[in-house]
Chain A
């Protein structure tokens, strides 16, 4: 017990004496939470539109003005020559071309209407397809408005849409829990490993290995500080989310902390295990990067697991962050309770025990 206390004290002293770590622990979550939600958006905005208006009618002008007024589009160019518009598309100054054909207005009401043609640059597939969809919607709305004005009829809304849990479809709210998980992965994933390998590189671990200290004691003393740091980082991130983005967890804060405690423990245990198999900082960094990449891209953090191929979906079952992504998003955005998330919590708990046992077992005092 005495050995554990002095080792724990030593870890805290070392973290405090480090010129870089305390700053990292405070600044990292603040900067990430302030900047990333603003830039990590999947909403397509600022689509540059070039219009080839061959019709020059009231209708075509109406379409143009609607495009210009939309927050999604910027009307960058109006011309009567398609090739010129195409030029813009090729140079990248325009993303989408809308061509309104001659006699469009006149033949609109006939049986043989001239179709509007939309040409999109689909190099960025999301921007291309989303931009195209928005444009189709915008034009369709303009046309139906015109029709209503000419033949006023009482139309009932055919479809009503209600977005539950994130009523304004704010992508930020979806990303904030994901960012918190990334903070955990970066801070509690890398620092414990680097701390062990650092001791290997400067030889101090040998002085510890030649003492009777138990490997469980040593491992726990390494884990606990990073566990507390993880919870501190979470608190900072939650405060920023609340103060800056007004996002308050819909569910219980206790459940969020419980899930985070399990997750940080899991990821730090994993980190220590990687360190036990590494001899240099460089090796540790690359191995951790490899796994953190997989964790970030395959755990449903950025892209939904349901859209992955089936083999990949099965693979995600062995990725601990997957369960925490589920937990954190559900509690934060939907207010799901601990009981409803029982399976994910148990899975996370199993991983926490597994990785920490592995960290203690693979720590070799005698080679």
Chain B
């Protein structure tokens, strides 16, 4: 458990006078499912974008898979998968074409791409949808496909930004099974969510309020610490003090 994959110290992002992320510190270990919680506007996505090499930090340090988030963004990108809050596969390409595109971008050979794509289709029960345009898939399927493609190159860490927003409970369940499976294979999962039942599934959870991390521990210990029955209660206790609304 001592193998640190993400390490963040005093990471800050300011937009003008507004501090979106304020000196956050945490470590994430290999194979962990790290829940990154917070109300809307708390700064989760901004923090995640800095870790993925999409956004430069204003100050502070961070490493992901051993690379610096400020100077080695492109190296980080070789070792991570990212699933954005907004569905961002190509709607006008088929399931198969999207898989091939992203596998190819990560430099997988044609044969390797084919083998992995077939395996993924099989795992997702998607074989019949191989030639379907992604745009015409239902939301839940799109999200499962996004996750599959975000992990097609077997990254060390996968960042998932509200992957189950708007998804039905059955598909949500299946989605978390996929997450567990990936974690079992040693992939570190960094996930944001608004569903507190999902928070219970995480190895550890951090709760962000107004750009700062207010709590960080295992769900069980957090509940003890706040004398709460559920993660939902913990979250509400912390988020109540938030000054930033939506």
Residues of A within 8 A of B (CB): 2-3, 5-7, 9-10, 13-14, 17-18, 202-204, 206-213, 365-367
Contact = CB atoms under 8 A, between A and B. Distances in A.
A365 B80 CA distance: 15
B220 interface: no
Contacts of A202: 88, 91
A118 to B, nearest CB: 64
17 contacts: A2-B109, A5-B104, A6-B100, A6-B103, A6-B105, A7-B105, A14-B90, A17-B133, A204-B88, A206-B54, A206-B86, A210-B77, A211-B77, A212-B74, A366-B53, A366-B56, A367-B56
A17 B105 contact: no
Contacts, number: 83
B78 interface: yes
B199 to A, nearest CB: 24
A367 B97 CA distance: 29
Contacts of A367: 54-56
User: Which 4 A-B pairs give the minimum distances between C-beta atoms?
Assistant: A6-B104, A203-B88, A210-B82, A207-B88
Interface residues of B, number: 34
A203 B78 contact: no
B93 A10 contact: yes
Interface of B: 52-56, 73-75, 77-78, 80, 82, 84, 86-93, 97, 100-110, 133
A209 B74 CA distance: 9
A365 to B, nearest CB: 7
Contacts of A213: 105
A10 B86 contact: no
Given A5-B104, A10-B97, A14-B92, A212 B77 contact: yes
Contacts of B90: 10, 14, 204
Nearest to B149: A207
Contacts of B84: 203, 206-207, 210
Contacts of A366: 53-56, 73
A14 B74 CA distance: 26
Nearest to B109: A2
A212 B92 contact: no
A206 B88 contact: yes
Contacts of B133: 17
Contact of B89 (A7, A18, A204): A204
A323 B80 CA distance: 47
Given A2-B104, A210-B52, A213-B105, A365 B73 contact: yes
A180 B2 CA distance: 66
Nearest to A210: B82
B60 to A, nearest CB: 16
Contacts of B110: 2
Given A206-B84, A213-B105, A367-B55, 4 more contacts: A2-B107, A13-B97, A203-B87, A212-B74
A7 B53 CA distance: 21
A9 B73 CA distance: 26
Contacts of B86: 203, 206
A362 to B, nearest CB: 16
B104 A3 contact: yes
B54 A211 contact: no
A130 B103 CA distance: 66
Contacts of A14: 90, 92-93
B77 to A, nearest CB: 4
A18 B100 CA distance: 20
B106 A212 contact: yes
A27 to B, nearest CB: 21
A32 B75 CA distance: 49
A208 B53 CA distance: 12
A6 B101 contact: yes
A10 B74 CA distance: 22
A5 B101 CA distance: 9
A210 B53 contact: yes
Contacts of B87: 203
B15 to A, nearest CB: 11
A199 to B, nearest CB: 9
B161 to A, nearest CB: 10
A202 B92 CA distance: 11
Nearest to A1: B107
Given A2-B109, A14-B93, A203-B87, A210 B80 contact: yes
A365 B107 contact: no
Contacts of A211: 77, 102, 105-106
Contacts of B92: 13-14, 17-18
A137 B65 CA distance: 85
Given A10-B97, A203-B84, A203-B88, A210 B54 contact: yes
B107 A3 contact: yes
Contacts of A208: 105
A299 B52 CA distance: 45
A58 B190 CA distance: 101
B104 A365 contact: no
B89 A209 contact: no
A214 to B, nearest CB: 8
Contacts of B75: 212
Contacts of B106: 3, 211-212
